[in-house]
Amino acid sequence: MNLEYLDTDILIFGAGGAGLLAAVHAHERSPRLRIVVVVKGLMGQSGCTRMVQGGYNAVLNSADSLENHFYDTVKGGAYLNDQELAWTLVEDAPKRILELENRLGCIFDRNDDGTIHQKAFAGQSFDRTIHKGDLTGIEIMSNLRDYILEQEEIFVLEDARGLDLLLSESRIIGALVLNMRTGGFLVVRSKATLVATGAAATMYKISSPSLEKSGDGMAMAWRAGAAFADMEMVQFHPTGLLVGNSIATGGLLEEGLRGAGARLFNGRNERYMSLYDPARMERATRDVISRSSYLEIAAGRGTEHGGVLIDASHLDEEFLLRNFPGMVERCRTYGFDLLHHPVEVSPSAHYQMGGICIDVNCHTNLEALFAAGEDAGGVHGANRLGGNGVADSIVYGARAGDSMVEYVAASRLYEVSPTQIRKLAEEWSQSLVRSEGENPFGLRREFESLMWEKVGIVRSEQGLHEALAGLAELRERTRRVKAVGEPVFNSEWGEAINLANLAIVAEMVAHSALCRRESRGAHYRSDFPQSSPQWLKRIHLRPGGNGAMKLSVLPIEWTRLTPPELSTSQAREGGYA
């Protein structure tokens, strides 16, 4: 067994916006701290922040306000948001934009007067989405990458992935890491650990996240004993490209396109959003449009390839080339002409609003463990507004970095258990030594189809029970997966690990969806199609014994806004509590 050891002050899993901003802030506040960033691929090329097309929501215009952004966020989240987390997001977002530009070198699009340009995004009452054309994520990530590479005290471990967090009682003292380049294990001791790997929307047949995302951070935190909330809330983006069996299927045409006036049609050339949200039409929130498209397809009114059509051909060609060059080129790459013809799209699993429970400083219920970005839950409630995702990663990544610096100042390294390390390494290596077993890639396809059909955009009690039974069977089969060959860059071994982690997250989603007997935000139950004030509560999960999941339904603190559903007077909708 190939084991190496490494000590560090701060250990960060994930090199998207949250992980890298955490490293930046920690280094800026305490330059002598040793920081290790574990990246599943290549730094600057992995994760979903670099894939962000649309932009970053922040209040910069005097005609806008923090209160308006907060109201839009909580209303969009169907009032399930942790309101202090949501307020912190909108309050810190403008500060982080100034930092990205003035400290880290990002340059966003400008108005003629030199101010930052902000565009329309669905679900928002003001045009507040900051962007760099439709390649905003690349602008942010390239500058973060350059900063990180210049710092000697920040060590980046590429082509590596976390396997399990290491515990001493209820304290996280480090992690076991797989170095895919050597096929060996690395034991990292740390004073503070951050999980910022992104979530697991790749558990669905059609999805948009980067291919390496598989809920690793969530699964590691769950196995260590972390508490979770809102796991039933999975967002499906309305417009993922349909490119046959290609891995490009699910890649997004971003929200700003609909904000600019693109229209949706079914296979009969009917502009169907007039049936579902006649007031907002294509500028309705993502959950409404995704569900509307899904219902059109399910009713037999979809396109030849099981999708719907997005049409921007009536918009000015020069405008599209100037504002959406990335999408025009993406469509052209796959043989579609966004400038002149409708393009086939489908709802695509995109983002998890649920995740690890945190406070405003990214502390979890486990000592020395922090979470930020999509690994953490509570900011977005039942539905995330487009443009709030990258803002979340940047805001809470920065906060995590600041918090960890304060934490490690009064902490120390702890001894790891050789027995624990040996047991974990042997467990994760089992698929390498089997002479017979399941094919992980075939199993993955079965898993994705089950989630799409039973725990997808439209859910029911019967379907969810069937999903849980199917997931239990698939979990057992996952334990019998065989990985052929040497451990170095072994794709079958990697997929076996992915499946183990995805299975945990999928079960959390299915159990929570079964528990919530109403429809709200991204969660739609065909057997309970209406929202109910009785369900203005958050569903929490904690690990039980022998792999069990313990669910509890807990009240929400209305610290800033009272849901209109609960109002007993004729007070103005959304009045401040």
What is the predicted pLDDT for the residue at 575? Answer: 40
Active site residue 145: no
Residues of the chain with CATH 1.20.58.100: 433-533
For the stretch 287-319, pLDDT in tens is 889 999 999 998 999 999 999 999 999 999 999
**Structurally, what CATH architecture does the domain formed by 433-533 represent?**
Up-down Bundle (1.20)
Annotated catalytic residue within 258, 330, 363, 384: 258
What is the predicted pLDDT for the residue at 1? Answer: 63
Positions in the chain short of pLDDT 50: 568-577
Long-range Cβ contacts of 513-516 (<8 Å, 24+ apart): 513/232, 513/455, 513/459, 513/464, 514/461, 514/464, 514/465, 514/468, 515/232, 515/539, 515/551, 515/553, 516/232
Residues of the chain with CATH 3.90.700.10: 236-348
For the stretch 462-517, pLDDT in tens is 999 999 999 999 999 998 999 988 999 999 999 999 999 999 999 999 999 999 99
- The angle at the Cα of 427, spanning 426 to 431, to the nearest 5 degrees, equals 95
d(CA 448, CA 403): 37
Active site residue 117: no
Annotated catalytic residue within 96, 161, 237, 380: 237
What is the predicted pLDDT for the residue at 184? Answer: 95
Query: Which class is domain 236-348?
Result: alpha beta
What is the predicted pLDDT for the residue at 386? Answer: 86
What is the predicted pLDDT for the residue at 5? Answer: 95
d(CA 550, CA 356): 14
The first and second tokens of residue 286, run together, are 């993502």
